[in-house]
Structure 1
Amino acid sequence: MADYQQSLQAKLIRFGIYAVLVLMALWYLAPLYVMLSTSFKTLDEIRAGNLLSLPGTFSLDAWSAAWSTACTGVECGGMKSYFANSLKMMIPAVLISTLVGAFNGYILSMWRFKGSDMFFMALLIGTFLPYQVVILPMAQVLGWLELENSTGRLVLVHVIYGLQFTTLFFRNYYVTVPGELVKAARIDGAGFFRIFFKILLPISVPTIMVCLIWQTTQIWNDYLFGVVFSSGEGQPMTVALNNLVNTSTGVKQYNVDMAAAIIAALPTLLVYMVGGKYFVRGLTAGAVKG
């Protein structure tokens, strides 16, 4: 009888936990549902219906308009060109910051030099600096370099700002790698670059995934750097989305706004859906040494 009561109590506790988790998931997903349902409605249905109602007839007109004809200020070419701008900015910035961060982490963990601890401390402090603090120094550096291309400027800005994060991730992972592995490679004649590219980089897949997901999310969702260091047709997706939502031209099209917001969010959503488990695994890979 006692075992039956304990089993029933455990089932009730488990049921309560799952019920709370389901309610939290529904609460969290409610805004996404509203955005999706609104994006498939016509303007007449939006005005006549309520916020939570399903579309009476599914229409893709808002998605087509958001992609190709919506007005983002004075231009009415939709989001497609700005989507391409974000891709051209994000892909090189993510790859460069990840590779250089891996190289920095390798040096700081395996090839110690005088002042390396102070250098790492400076990088660590850099991870706590908000975007607003680096805008003026970054603008000065870009002025010295005379970079006119908006996409090129944004690539450089995101590489510089992301380096402290990628370096921190790789350094914390490489300190968990047994030092005997590198010493054995040195004895066998492997040099500085060969150890990095042939030994350490191939075993760094979990941390590489962390950096790719982290940098992709940070760069794609950035608005402040995009609005400060770009202009005109060279602006990224987030700036165009803000211009579209806040435009005062014509009738307010809520379905187009919702469709554009979902289009802007899709890349990072897909990245987390595909690589979310690798993100958690990579974060915990460097948490414990041994």
Structure 2
Amino acid sequence: MSSPRPTVAAAAPLERPANRQKSVERGRKPKRLTPGRIGLYAFIAVAAAFFLLPAVIMIFTSLKSMDEIRDGSIFALPQHLDFSAWIAAWSTACTGLSCDGIRVGFWNSIKILVPSVVLSIAAGSILGYALSFWRVRGANVLFAILLLGAFLPYQIFIYPMVRGFSLLGIYNSLACIVTIHVIFGLPVMTLIFRNFYAGLPQELFNAARVDGGGFWRIFLYVILPMSTPILIVAAILQITGIWNDFILGLVFAGRENLPMTVQLNNVVNTTYGERTYNMNMAATILTAAVPLVVYFVSGRWFVRGIAAGAVKG
């Protein structure tokens, strides 16, 4: 007796689960260009050119000599690469009577950035964890007050805080500007951590409580190991925000701790004789280097962190 013939379903090759999942994530590749898709590509190209053109002009200008800048077009490529403007911007650019370059502001920004990022993320994660799992009395009122602080313009708080830190005796110091960044970063940090923790299974927290875990033990050994995506998001937000700050550093840091953005403003506005556009452009690019590096290195992690729950709730 002959064996039955295989059916069409049995003979058809099965699609691998990995390939099926990959195709679902990426979506189907369009087979032809439609007018709508052409318009979308054209809009993206125009938008990219609009935002990239100033950066390209800055780079070209920083690599030209002053004679070439005066005689040529701002869109022209440098005839000879000249990095002397970069060296001068870093080490010999003048801010008033001091001619030490913007490297002083760079190290000041590093001293401000590191403790501000660590302390603000630590405070925001702990507060978001407490508001998400421990059901503190008045937690909703406290969270509403924090959100109010996140949406109010911080300029209205400058004068009261100047008076307060002056009474405490730490105004115009490194401790003062770090405290300021931690205070102003706390509402946003609490918001994103609370929304992220709200998406975690409540059963994990309940099981840890049953096993005898306390506040800090659950946070350090259960919640924090699962917080890697949102920690990356918080770090990117704080690094870019604190590094790009100008007015808070100008008001609260003091003359000895002025950040790089304030030093850049002083370099650009300090002129003896001819204005050196190439050095000003080089100083601007050096000031923007840290946020750009953070974006290009960890941009994909930022998107993954957002997708993992940074904006849920």
TM-score, scaled to structure 2: 0.86
Q: Following TM superposition, where does structure 1 have runs of at least 4 consecutive aligned residues deviating by more than 4 angstroms?
A: none
Q: Which moved more, 1:194-203 or 1:144-153?
A: 144-153
Aligned amino acid, residue 239 of structure 1: V
Match of 2:168 among 129, 135, 145: 145
| 2:106 aligned partner | 83
**1:7, CA displacement in angstroms?**
5.4
Q: Secondary structure in 2 aligned to 1:127?
A: helix
Q: Which moved more, 1:115-124 or 1:17-26?
A: 17-26
| 2:148 aligned partner | 125
Query: Which string of whole-angstrom CA distances, capped at 9 and with x for unpartnered residues, describes residues 108-164 of structure 1?
Result: 010112111100000000111212111122212312321156222111110111011
Query: Which string of whole-angstrom CA distances, capped at 9 and with x for unpartnered residues, describes residues 48-72 of structure 1?
Result: 0011001110000000000000011
Aligned amino acid, residue 209 of structure 2: R
CA contact 2:96–2:266 (8 Å) conserved in 1: yes
Q: Which moved more, 1:244-253 or 1:107-116?
A: 244-253
Distance 1:193 1:21 in 2: 48
Distance 1:111 1:149 in 2: 38
| 2:271 aligned partner | 248
CA contact 1:82–1:233 (8 Å) conserved in 2: no
Query: Which string of whole-angstrom CA distances, capped at 9 and with x for unpartnered residues, describes residues 186-245 of structure 1?
Result: 111111101101111111111111110111111101110111113323211011101111
Distance 1:152 1:192 in 2: 29
Query: Which string of whole-angstrom CA distances, capped at 9 and with x for unpartnered residues, describes residues 30-62 of structure 1?
Result: 000000000000000000001100111000000
CA contact 1:238–1:264 (8 Å) conserved in 2: yes
| 2:119 aligned partner | 96
Kindly indicate whether residue 217 of structure 2 is the aligned counterpart of residue 194 of structure 1.
Answer: yes
Supply the RMSD in Å over aligned alpha carbons: 1.6
Q: Which moved more, 1:221-230 or 1:277-286?
A: 277-286
Query: Which string of whole-angstrom CA distances, capped at 9 and with x for unpartnered residues, describes residues 72-111 of structure 1?
Result: 1221110111100000000110011001100000000101
Q: Secondary structure in 1 aligned to 2:151?
A: coil
Distance 2:172 2:149 in 1: 26
**What pairs up with 1:33-44 in 2 under 5 angstroms?**
33-44=56-67
CA contact 1:101–1:170 (8 Å) conserved in 2: yes
Q: Secondary structure in 1 aligned to 2:256?
A: helix
Aligned amino acid, residue 178 of structure 2: V
Kindly indicate whether residue 305 of structure 2 is the aligned counterpart of residue 282 of structure 1.
Answer: yes
| 2:5 aligned partner | none
| 1:3 aligned partner | none
**1:178, CA displacement in angstroms?**
1.2
**What pairs up with 1:206-225 in 2 under 5 angstroms?**
206-225=229-248
Distance 2:136 2:240 in 1: 33
Aligned amino acid, residue 125 of structure 1: L
Unpaired runs of 5+ residues, structure 2, are 1-29
Distance 2:291 2:190 in 1: 22
Aligned amino acid, residue 285 of structure 1: A
Distance 1:229 1:108 in 2: 31
Kindly indicate whether residue 188 of structure 2 is the aligned counterpart of residue 165 of structure 1.
Answer: yes
CA contact 2:172–2:251 (8 Å) conserved in 1: no
CA contact 2:229–2:305 (8 Å) conserved in 1: yes
Aligned amino acid, residue 93 of structure 1: S
Match of 2:251 among 215, 220, 228: 228
TM-score, scaled to structure 1: 0.93
Aligned amino acid, residue 214 of structure 2: G
| 1:178 aligned partner | 201
Distance 1:7 1:40 in 2: 44
Distance 2:121 2:307 in 1: 18
**1:17, CA displacement in angstroms?**
2.6
